[in-house]
Amino acid sequence: MKQFDYVQPKTMDEALASWEPGASWLGGGTNLVDLMKLGVAQPQRVIDLTRISDLGEITFQQNGSVRIGAMVSNADLARHAGFAQHFPMVAEALLSGASGQLRNMATVAGNLMQRTRCAYFQEETAACNRRTPGAGCDARDSDEEARALLGASPACVATNPSDFCVPLAALEAQVEVRGVNGTRQIPIAEFHLLPGDHPERETALEQGELIVALHLSAEAARFARHARYLKVRDRTSFAFATTAAAAALQMEDGIIVEGRLALGAVAARPWRVAEAEALLVGQAPDAALFARVAEAAMAGAEAPVHLEWKIDLARRTAARALAMAAAGTPARLPALPASPFGQQNGDLAHV
């Protein structure tokens, strides 16, 4: 690991003042410290944000919206009873990610800032435009499975590995960020950037800005009775998604009033297609309907021959997540959260 200068500010103002080009914000460290060991991240200064007390709160407002502090841990958010009741598929996604230890450490902001798990990004000797602009992309002609099927560019085929961000995209979360020029809110759909010619620009954050909180609106809770996250992976637990989907339905008298669908692990950001969601409106839940919606959600997907199965898998994952959502949110999360295996539905929640 390269040497760095470590600071631990106690206030937000101190944190912002301690930033300089080449610095990195540190939350739980589960991604950054790992990348520093690999030599992939080489910050000259590490600014530890974990002692800034007001970043650690989960606050429900009078109107039912929630503000989640940047340094709230994945485990604390997933286990917050009120939060899990209003936004069950977010809790399910969080609990399907990483391990018990890592969920205790990893933070909300760190999850939004998580780097790609593309093997070529993590291997210092491989060419990677995301890590070293202009270096080329060794992943493009490789058999890497963590490859974008949508929104990729000649410069980069990396995916965003986050589980958490997938339901956040479906529920249209807002990211509250702060810099020396003040505070602003970024819709989650605009937070992660597609690679284009500049894959090294990964998020909408400006230099020196940091995430202070995440907001979910009260309206997002209207999907709570029919909301699921489904994640297909190489092993049943503690693995990144091969494909994933967050599906949320608002249903009245057996008819879908509104539907949301976001796909994970298929692009550099969670993938949402308005035309696909529009197909759900006014319909009764049905396998053929969900297959059409999944097809529309994956419109334009491209894969090399050896990865064509992943397009099919992503469609099936989306259709199955919709079917699970239609069946209803379970009163208690299954033993294997977001898994296609095991008991899927016991008693349904009556939120």
Partner 1 sequence: MSLFISLTLNGEAREVSIDDPRVTLLDLLRERLALPGTKKGCDRGQCGACTVLVNGRRANACLMLAAGLDGAEITTIEGLARGEDLHPVQAAFIEHDGFQCGYCTPGQIMSAVGLIAEGDAGSDPERIREGMSGNICRCGAYHGITLAVQEASRRMAAKDEGGAA
Strand residue runs (E) in 29-111:
45-48, 58-60, 66-69
The residue among 6 and 309 lying less far from partner 1, judged by its C-beta, is 6
The residue among 183 and 236 lying less far from partner 1, judged by its C-beta, is 236
Q: Enter the tokens of residue 228.
A: 């699921």
Q: Enter the tokens of residue 273.
A: 């297609």
Identify the burial level of 125 via C-beta atoms within 10 angstroms of its C-beta, where 0-12 means exposed, 13-18 middle and 19 or more buried.
exposed
Q: Any residues with CB less than 8 A from the CB of 6 and at least 6 apart, and which?
A: 45, 46, 48
- The length of the chain in residues reads 351
The residue among 104 and 217 lying less far from partner 1, judged by its C-beta, is 104
The residue among 274 and 335 lying less far from partner 1, judged by its C-beta, is 335
Tell me the C-alpha distance between 154 and 141, whole Å: 11
Q: Which stretches of the chain are DSSP H helices?
A: 12-18, 32-38, 74-79, 81-86, 88-95, 100-105, 108-112, 119-122, 165-170, 188-191, 274-278, 287-297, 308-327
Q: Tally Cβ neighbours within 10 Å of residue 61.
A: 11
Tell me the C-alpha distance between 130 and 134, whole Å: 9
From the CB of 12, what's the least distance to partner 1, in Å? 17
Strand partners of residue 210: 178
Strand partners of residue 227: 248
Given a contact cutoff of 8 angstroms between Cβ atoms, the answer to whether 232 and 146 are in contact is no
From the CB of 337, what's the least distance to partner 1, in Å? 8
What are the residues binding partner 1 (CB under 8 A)?
A: 1, 3-6, 8, 26, 28-30, 33-34, 37, 46, 48, 50, 75, 79, 98-102, 104-105, 236-238, 335-337, 342
Given a contact cutoff of 8 angstroms between Cβ atoms, the answer to whether 219 and 66 are in contact is no
Q: Enter the tokens of residue 280.
A: 């759900």
Q: Residue with structure tokens 């809790």?
A: 91
From the CB of 170, what's the least distance to partner 1, in Å? 24
The residue among 8 and 153 lying less far from partner 1, judged by its C-beta, is 8
From the CB of 344, what's the least distance to partner 1, in Å? 13
